[in-house]
């Protein structure tokens, strides 16, 4: 005998759920918002509870009526023969959903329904069931809408998305039935049947991996849990046991078959541990494989040949984790990794911010709308093949056009400067090529008349004019600056649009110096240094994000960082931390007061496929942070400003006055055998060695100046310190 049921599901899953219910021999299906009505035998209803991967609830409606007032609600519920469904010794719980002008509070509605049920059972049997808010034997569902109510017996018990394997979860967990829906839309069952692999580069607590394995191995989602109908008076236990035995046999056969490759990776060791526990609870630990890996290390597995498969992931999208600007770079990096190593594969990216998907550098072939809780999301499907590739929105590589033809003739002074630039570039050429350096200082006031620093950042140029002495006539200073502007594009063959000029001028009025307006707000560019990529902004800030004179220091850190606990004090944009992480540091901690710089650092991490689980950013006054720090480190970079009187600091920092205290505080948290690298840019600085006699102090300034700074050896000073 058939009965009508209602399968509730998250919004957006109705079509998939209807297709699934058909496979359980359900008929007369009717989709509605967040659910599907269907007719089925009791056996098919049991099968739906056991095998549905998508539904939250399977409800058996027992009564439908209009609610004109609270008494009508009570009377309508009491009219149901509850004594035929509920044992008076059972525990119950009422889930009441919806309110209106009559029933304004769902708790009040639940109370009236509960009273009607227990009163009916007590009148018939002389005994009443008790209420249990946790793990009740029977749940009753009451749904109020537009003055009408449907009262149902909940066949499921706890929500069906609870499979019984999740014992731990990450920060932003995905429900199991949503993960299953994503896998179905991504075509995973067909890919698995063909022997394809599944990889998740940001697997979190492993929900997608487990659901994928259960599909591939034909494992019933409800095999590890109990159901509400097991305490129902009309329960047919022999029918249920036969269905369970069938599911157990299918699971055994599925796991004994040829197992497809399913692997997950995550940068956060804590969530990997959580995933391992969940996988063990699902009894899939002999099948699924996990590794702690940064996104930078995500590549095609080499232990066996994987010809095709699905890469699926739920990266952060700014609603709960991460920040949008750094996430753009994360998606860009992920897209670059996929294009480089997974040609011919399929990719499914689930995100609450579809705009981020544009930064993958591929056109999405299909898009499916979902809800993650109340958050509208999309599943973006990509085919990793060259025909779908496109330039991501942050790519400015084609903006470095050739220099314009037909330039005006240079003045004698501009021609002299242009010749010097060409000469310097020729002298550095062999060193640049050998060391693969694309960011360097080309000119540093070599000619006193043209007092500027000229730096090269790939296809871009950064020109900073030094302040002219008061003895120099303002008109003459301006003329020389115009000659700099004429000489630079002429000598370097770079379009003027790719040159940033920062000019300092004495002014009357409110501003002491004049700064040229940026040609494009937030015009970040990406440059390469060693293993790392870094975001540079040549227009919006006084400093562009990468101190070129510290290149050798960063290289030194790269050689020392493998396996080390690295601390970066006054970290700026954390470029040294990126180098340390890429070189295999155990973890990095970067401290700075500036939220602007830390956001920039976060983007640098994302640009290099580095997560923040092992690369912590701390917004703090370094001088105070050092006093409170209880952690120890193997390698510390201490590169403070010469002077700071920031409002965020409790005191003024004067590096000449305060360097001994700063160094001593840093050495307190340096492990024996570890190294502190201390550097500063104060030309008049003198190290007070008399107060640092407990340490082995070595001046390494000479080895930290590359050829592009040989003309200005006083750009910085640098020491290493170790415990004696």
Same-domain status, 57 and 194: no
Average pLDDT over residues 310-334: 83
The verdict on residue 162 lying in a domain is no
Which structure tokens are listed for 537?
């902004």
**Percent composition of the chain: helix, strand, coil (DSSP 3-state, to 5):** 35, 25, 40
CATH of the domain at 270: 3.40.50.150
- pLDDT, residue 649, reads 61
Is residue 683 within 8 A of residue 714, CB to CB? The reply is: yes
Spatial distance between the Cα atoms of 351 and 360, rounded to a whole number of angstroms: 12
CATH of the domain at 12: 3.30.2130.30
Q: What does the buried/exposed string (b/e) look like for 434-468 if buried means 16 or more CB atoms within 10 Å of the residue's CB?
A: eeebebbbbbbebeeebbbbbbbbbbbbbbbbeeb
> What is the Rg, in whole angstroms, of the alpha carbon atoms belonging to the chain?
34
Q: What is the pLDDT of residues 515-541, one digit of tens each?
A: 444 444 446 899 999 999 999 999 888
Is residue 197 within 8 A of residue 188, CB to CB? The reply is: no
Average pLDDT over residues 116-124: 97
The verdict on residue 240 lying in a domain is no
Element (H, E) at 76: helix 70-78
Spatial distance between the Cα atoms of 31 and 622, rounded to a whole number of angstroms: 60
Structurally, how many domains does the chain consist of? 4
Same-domain status, 17 and 149: yes
Spatial distance between the Cα atoms of 301 and 299, rounded to a whole number of angstroms: 6
Most confident of the ranges 28-42, 282-296, 469-483:
28-42
| Residue 318 belongs to domain spanning | 176-217+259-388
Average pLDDT over residues 271-284: 95
Which structure tokens are listed for 681?
């840019």
Domain termination site, one of 448, 482, 502: 502
Domain termination site, one of 338, 366, 388: 388
- pLDDT, residue 507, reads 43
- pLDDT, residue 175, reads 95
**What sign does the CA torsion over 290, 296, 301, 306 have?**
positive
Same-domain status, 576 and 718: yes
Neighbours of 64 (CB within 10 A): 12
- pLDDT, residue 300, reads 94
Q: What DSSP string describes 451-501?
A: -EEEEEETTEEEEEEPPPPTTS-HHHHHHHHHHHHHHHHHHHTB-GGGEEE
Spatial distance between the Cα atoms of 414 and 75, rounded to a whole number of angstroms: 96
pLDDT at 318 over 80: no
Q: What is the pLDDT of residues 162-194, one digit of tens each?
A: 999 999 876 668 999 999 999 999 999 999 999
Same-domain status, 55 and 123: yes
Is residue 549 within 8 A of residue 709, CB to CB? The reply is: yes
3-state secondary structure 108-130: HHHHHHHHHHHHHHHHHHCCCCE
- pLDDT, residue 712, reads 82
Q: What does the buried/exposed string (b/e) look like for 266-281 if buried means 16 or more CB atoms within 10 Å of the residue's CB?
A: bbbeebbebbbbbbeb
Same-domain status, 644 and 677: yes
pLDDT band at 643 (very low <50, low <70, confident <90, very high): confident
Q: What is the mean pLDDT of the chain?
A: 91
Is residue 545 within 8 A of residue 566, CB to CB? The reply is: no
The verdict on residue 288 lying in a domain is yes
> Which residue did the predictor score with more confidence, 544 or 400?
544
Q: What is the pLDDT of residues 52-98, one digit of tens each?
A: 999 999 999 999 999 999 999 999 999 999 999 999 999 999 999 99
> pLDDT exceeding 70 applies to what percent of the chain?
93
The verdict on residue 35 lying in a domain is yes
| Beta-carbon-side half-sphere exposure of residue 349 (alpha carbons within 13 Å) | 29
pLDDT at 377 over 90: yes
Is residue 612 within 8 A of residue 598, CB to CB? The reply is: no
Same-domain status, 383 and 405: no
The verdict on residue 170 lying in a domain is no
Grouping H, G, I as helix, E, B as strand and the rest as coil, residue 627 is helix
Q: What is the pLDDT of residues 237-254, one digit of tens each?
A: 999 999 999 999 999 999
pLDDT band at 543 (very low <50, low <70, confident <90, very high): confident
Same-domain status, 103 and 140: yes
Same-domain status, 568 and 709: yes
Spatial distance between the Cα atoms of 495 and 444, rounded to a whole number of angstroms: 21
Element (H, E) at 279: helix 269-281
Spatial distance between the Cα atoms of 173 and 314, rounded to a whole number of angstroms: 10
The verdict on residue 53 lying in a domain is yes
Residue in 536, 496, 517 with CA at minimum distance from that of residue 401: 496
Residue 184 to residues 16, 98, 188, 191: CA-CA distances in angstroms? Answer: 8, 31, 6, 10
Domain termination site, one of 502, 523, 538: 502
pLDDT at 408 over 90: no
Residue 185 to residues 13, 49, 347: CA-CA distances in angstroms? Answer: 10, 21, 11
Is residue 182 within 8 A of residue 350, CB to CB? The reply is: yes
Q: What is the pLDDT of residues 608-641, one digit of tens each?
A: 999 888 999 999 999 999 999 999 999 999 999 9
- pLDDT, residue 610, reads 94
Backbone angles phi, psi at 258, to 5 degrees: -70, 120
Same-domain status, 553 and 625: yes
The verdict on residue 69 lying in a domain is yes
pLDDT at 514 over 70: no
CATH of the domain at 424: 3.30.750.80
- pLDDT, residue 405, reads 41
Average pLDDT over residues 276-298: 93
Grouping H, G, I as helix, E, B as strand and the rest as coil, residue 81 is coil
> Which residue did the predictor score with more confidence, 511 or 243?
243
Burial of 67 (0-12, 13-18, 19+ CB in 10 A): buried
* DSSP category for residue 362: B
- Give residue for tokens 């190290």: 687
Burial of 230 (0-12, 13-18, 19+ CB in 10 A): middle
Q: What is the pLDDT of residues 453-495, one digit of tens each?
A: 999 999 999 999 887 777 777 788 889 999 999 999 999 999 8
Cross-strand bridge partners of residue 645: none
- Give residue for tokens 């009451």: 142
Average pLDDT over residues 29-43: 96
Q: What is the pLDDT of residues 447-463, one digit of tens each?
A: 988 999 999 999 999 99
Same-domain status, 583 and 488: no
- pLDDT, residue 356, reads 93
The verdict on residue 224 lying in a domain is no
Backbone angles phi, psi at 221, to 5 degrees: -60, -30
Cross-strand bridge partners of residue 494: 402
pLDDT band at 394 (very low <50, low <70, confident <90, very high): low
Same-domain status, 495 and 632: no
Most confident of the ranges 497-501, 647-651, 671-675:
671-675
Grouping H, G, I as helix, E, B as strand and the rest as coil, residue 187 is coil
- pLDDT, residue 401, reads 43
Spatial distance between the Cα atoms of 534 and 527, rounded to a whole number of angstroms: 5
Backbone angles phi, psi at 498, to 5 degrees: -100, 15
pLDDT at 648 over 80: no
Same-domain status, 411 and 378: no
Is residue 367 within 8 A of residue 205, CB to CB? The reply is: no
Sheet with 138-145, edge to edge strand ranges: 27-32, 35-41, 2-8, 57-66, 148-154, 138-145, 91-97, 130-131
Which structure tokens are listed for 308?
């095709």
Q: What does the buried/exposed string (b/e) look like for 626-654 if buried means 16 or more CB atoms within 10 Å of the residue's CB?
A: beebeeebbbbbbbbeeebeeeeeeeebe
Residue in 55, 118, 50 with CA at minimum distance from that of residue 86: 118
Residue in 507, 456, 464 with CA at minimum distance from that of residue 485: 464
Flag the least confident range among 259-268, 423-432, 641-650.
641-650
Residue in 74, 60, 45, 34 with CA at minimum distance from that of residue 139: 60
- Give residue for tokens 């492993």: 206
pLDDT at 506 over 50: no
Element (H, E) at 417: helix 412-435
């Amino acid at each position: 005998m058939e009965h009508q049921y209602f399968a509730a599901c998250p919004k957006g899953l109705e079509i998939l759920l209807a297709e699934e219910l058909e496979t359980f021999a359900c008929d007369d299906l009717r989709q509605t918002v967040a659910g599907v009505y269907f007719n089925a035998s009791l056996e098919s209803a049991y099968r739906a509870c056991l095998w549905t991967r998508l539904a939250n609830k399977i409800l058996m409606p027992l009564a439908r009526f209009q609610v004109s007032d609270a008494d009508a609600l009570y009377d309508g519920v009491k009219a149901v023969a509850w004594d035929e469904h509920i044992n008076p010794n059972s525990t119950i719980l009422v889930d009441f959903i919806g309110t209106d002008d009559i029933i304004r509070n769902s708790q009040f509605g639940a109370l009236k329904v509960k009273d009607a049920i227990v009163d009916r059972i007590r009148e018939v049997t002389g005994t009443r069931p008790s209420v249990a808010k946790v793990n009740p034997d029977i749940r009753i569902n009451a749904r109020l809408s537009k003055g009408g109510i449907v009262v149902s017996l909940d066949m499921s018990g706890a929500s069906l998305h609870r499979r019984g394997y999740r014992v731990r979860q990450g920060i932003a967990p995905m429900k199991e039935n949503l993960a299953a829906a994503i896998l179905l839309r991504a075509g995973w069952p067909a890919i698995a049947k063909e022997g394809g692999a599944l990889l998740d580069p940001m697997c979190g607590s492993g929900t997608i991996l487990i659901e994928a394995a259960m599909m591939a191995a034909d494992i019933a989602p409800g095999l590890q849990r109990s159901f509400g109908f097991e305490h129902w008076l009309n329960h047919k236990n022999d029918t249920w046991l036969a269905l369970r035995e069938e599911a157990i046999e299918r699971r055994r056969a599925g796991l004994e078959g040829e197992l497809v490759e399913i692997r997950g990776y995550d940068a956060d060791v804590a969530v990997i541990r959580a995933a391992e526990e969940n996988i063990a609870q699902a009894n899939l630990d002999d099948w699924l494989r996990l590794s702690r890996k940064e996104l930078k290390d995500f590549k095609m597995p080499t232990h066996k040949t994987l010809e095709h498969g699905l890469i699926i992931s739920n990266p952060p999208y700014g609603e709960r984790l991460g920040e949008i600007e750094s996430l753009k770079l994360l998606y860009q990096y992920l897209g670059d990794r996929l294009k480089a190593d997974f040609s011919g594969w399929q990719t499914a990216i689930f995100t609450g911010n579809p705009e981020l998907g544009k930064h993958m550098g591929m056109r999405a072939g299909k898009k499916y709308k979902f809800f993650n809780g109340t958050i509208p999301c999309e599943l973006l499907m990509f085919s990793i093949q060259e025909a779908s590739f496109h330039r991501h929105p942050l790519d400015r590589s084609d903006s470095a056009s050739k220099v314009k033809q037909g330039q005006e003739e240079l003045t004698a002074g501009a021609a002299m400067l242009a010749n010097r630039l060409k000469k310097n570039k020729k002298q550095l050429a062999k060193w640049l090529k050998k060391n693969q350096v694309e960011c360097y200082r080309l000119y540093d006031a070599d000619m006193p008349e043209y007092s500027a620093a000229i730096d090269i950042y790939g296809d871009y140029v950064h020109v900073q004019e030094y302040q002219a002495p008061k003895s120099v006539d303002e008109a003459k200073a301006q003329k020389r600056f115009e000659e700099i502007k004429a000489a630079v594009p002429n000598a370097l063959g770079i379009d003027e649009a790719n040159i940033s000029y920062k000019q300092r001028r004495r002014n009357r009025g409110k501003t002491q110096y004049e700064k040229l307006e940026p040609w494009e707000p937030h015009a970040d560019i990406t440059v390469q240094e060693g293993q790392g990529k870094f975001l540079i902004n040549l227009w919006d800030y006084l400093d562009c994000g990468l101190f070129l004179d510290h290149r050798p220091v960063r290289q030194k850190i790269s050689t020392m960082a493998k396996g080390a606990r690295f601390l970066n004090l006054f970290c700026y944009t954390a470029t040294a931390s990126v180098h340390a992480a890429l070189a295999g540091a155990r973890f990095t901690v970067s401290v700075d007061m500036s939220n602007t710089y830390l956001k920039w650092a976060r983007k640098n991490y994302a640009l290099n496929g580095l997560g923040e689980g092992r690369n912590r950013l701390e917004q703090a006054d370094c001088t105070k942070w050092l006093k409170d720090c209880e952690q120890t480190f193997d390698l510390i970079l201490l590169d403070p400003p010469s002077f700071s009187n920031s409002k965020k600091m409790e005191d003024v920092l004067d590096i000449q006055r305060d360097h001994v205290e700063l160094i001593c505080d840093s050495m307190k948290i340096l492990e024996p055998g570890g190294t502190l690298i201390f550097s500063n840019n104060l030309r008049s600085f003198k190290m007070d060695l008399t107060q640092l006699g407990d340490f082995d102090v070595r001046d390494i300034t000479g080895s930290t100046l590359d050829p592009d700074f040989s003309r200005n050896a006083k750009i910085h000073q640098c020491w290493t310190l170790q415990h004696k």
